[in-house]
Chain A
Amino acid sequence: MAQPMENENTRPELSAVREQWVGVEFDWTTFEMSAESMVAWAKACGETDPRFVDPSHSDFQAHPGFTTHCMSGRVFPKEFPQIGGGFGIDGGKRVEVHAPIRPGETLTATTTIADIFEKTGRSGTMIFIVQRMEFRNDADQLVSTVDWKMIKKAEWA
């Protein structure tokens, strides 16, 4: 199970947002897993292992990060407050692989706000908003968790 990230010196304003929104589930989407896309993804990533590039292999499956391209319908929940400046930048992706993803499966993804925190570094104070998507297969088995870290410049009145 993915764990929330650590928080560093969170301001009261951000604490309130965190209190209200972390854990809120706000989007539900399905994605069809096709062998063609899985192979094309793996080959473009320089993969040579037949488990990922040969659909006839007995253990053929999606590359570990394949679900990172599956975007939820909404970036934030409705009514989510405007915190930080601008649209934010993609700070990175964390993927947990729970089970192989097979071609032909329909994955159901649920999206939550997993964490909100701030960090101060050379570029000043930045706000991190972590959007988590959990993917389940047709058997309702959790197969993949993707955490997307969106980074925004802290702007406080």
Chain B
Amino acid sequence: MKPLVTREYRTVSYVSGPLIFIERPMRISYGEVVSIILPDGEERTGQVLDISREVAVVQVYEGTSRVDDRDTRVRFTGDPPRIDVSIEMLGRIFDGLGRPRDGKPPVLPEEQPDIGGMPINPYARDKPADFVQTGVSAIDGLNTLVRGQKLPIFSGAGLPANRLAAQITRQSRVLDEEGNFAVVFAAMGITWQEASFFMQEFESTGALERVIFFLNLADDPTIERIATPRCALTAAEHLAYTHDLHVLVIMTDMTNYCEALREISTAREEVPGRRGYPGYMYTDLSSLYERAGRITGRRGSITQVPILTMPDDDITHPVPDLTGYITEGQIVLSRDLFRRGIDPPIDVLPSLSRLMSLGIGPGKTREDHRNVSDQVYASYAYGRDLRRLVAIVGEEALTDLDRAYLTFAEQFENQFVSQRGENRSIEQTLGIGWDLLAGLPVDELKRIGPEMIQRYHPALREETP
């Protein structure tokens, strides 16, 4: 219900950081969009964060520089923040608030949904089930991505998370279905260079017309980053649920998003949680991540690959920590592997895909997938433990068996994890897994049943498939 008169105020009483306070507001609604008109006529956008009879608190997406407390006018729209969505958005570039930034005219909206979205009723959700082949062995083989999942990449400063994300985007396919996919790319505070890397990447694979870009770059207003992923997910929902597309949403870098959240919280003088991040950051992040999924009876789906930077490679930092508690697993990049030239430098031990068992097995990938994955994991973990031992007592002190495990760990990193842009089918991935396992005594393969060993072990199987 739109009010007949828009209400305009000149009662800015207090400005602090990204926030402005407006005195004596009347019938303002919580969460509504406001336009802030600066004395020189520039118009900015904001959103109501807190209302009372005395004062309304507004966060200004573009920042508060040059806002004054005499001539600045604030116009309340009475509406929550909305975005124009349409299938025509594919191939276009928008700013962090969903306005075109590619110089072309605005899209003709098919809908104007609230970017806040509404929670999916858990009962209406459909179980993620389809195996997504990313062509990356460490993911497909050991941390399988499933359609409708949210699987973040935990990166560190300088680690090639973007290259991995681009590779996933380029290579991802669901085995028996192709074509009706789209990518929504939300950039929050990344550099122009990083954004342009993605654009070139999509261009070179001819996927550009299947991508919607929402770009909030490093020099764009920070508070706008609060809205960017919401705009992107709203567009993704439109593509998925109105146009039946399978949408992959890449959000990078979530650490920048959380910093914007912290900035607002600090400006509001809220009681800080860990490391100054607000106590409600878990709830806030989940309102983004939980928008991934599938809905019973609808054909489209939303799969999320958020990327975040772990400050100082610390996985217990609040941003990766809270993310890990919401997402269905994580792919962790390791500086150690990166230094040793492993590409992609995925450390599989802390990595995890919680929905893996929904996407693998007979009829989906292969019957031995779970066993091979468990065995490879356990053996690699043991091999890694031995490395520490070797550092102390030297390799000579090890038994032959332990030396076999050391070799296994080495080969696993160099042959299984490292693949340098190669696109591997799941058969190839499992094949490499078996080849490596064959270096261990058969008795040691405790996680694989005897029949599977008969059928797939390179030294035992009757004929090569």
Whether chain B is bound by chain A comes out as: no
Residues on A lying within 8 angstroms of B by beta carbon are none
Instruction: Give B residues with C-beta under 8 Å from A.
Output: none
